[in-house]
Structure 1
Amino acid sequence: MIQATPYIGFEGQAEEALMFYHSVFGGDLKITRFRDFGMVEDTPDWVMHGQLDTDMGSSLMAPDNPGGVTGGSRINVCIWGDDEQRMTEFFNALAQGGTVEMPLEKQEWGDSFGGLRDRFGVDWGVNIGSKES
């Protein structure tokens, strides 16, 4: 399965926003903090990744961005799924004429992830999980 999900960036308010959205939409909320991966510089309690899977079957994701929310939109689109070949094709196609900001590669949380800005200025994240997840 492959899904596209809005990913809303915050600067220290991700947890508060996610709790609010959870109160509105219900569902299952999971929050991972920077400290959970040993990243404790200036913002250990900030949200590295928050995901709300709503009772309606849709999802909403949000992180805190320690560097601030700068330039362009604070919303990007995250494509996630377990079909590695297809997801890699999406990443490469979206990158044509754009800028790869984070190469598609294995990450600390076990999935492969990459980020890019397409030729229209839209930010994309591609997360490839295992079929067992």
Structure 2
Amino acid sequence: MAALNPYLNFDGKTEEAFNFYKSVFGGEFDTFQRIKEIPGGDQYPPNEQNRVMHVSLPIGKSGTLMGSDTMPSMGHTLNQGNNVHLAISPDSEEEAKRLFDGLSAGGKVVMPLEKTFWGALFGMFSDKYGVLWMVNYTYQK
């Protein structure tokens, strides 16, 4: 079975965003690599050499959140949109509340974390970096 690993792009904010996500989820980065650390990285403009080439943060038992910065010198442009949500299925109501409160801090709650008709505790928000999230804890029957 293939794993689903969301990949996020930022315009120079990857390190800040991933340190925030790490503060909420816990754990340590599997990978954290800057442009200046890759082969040929010294050929990029000095203002881009500290940008993040790749970062990965394990989440839970089998997930990984990954990301990188855009590279303006290569013509990259960040376009934030509403076409991606990151859905989290916590193992407990307490974890659902902790993740919702932590990740939504400084962001915009679209739907508060509430019990739903489908037997779950569910909420939606965009975090302070514009990333859209859903938290869904399904109650045991």
Q: Give the TM-score normalised by the residue count of structure 2.
A: 0.46
> Rg larger in 1 or in 2?
2
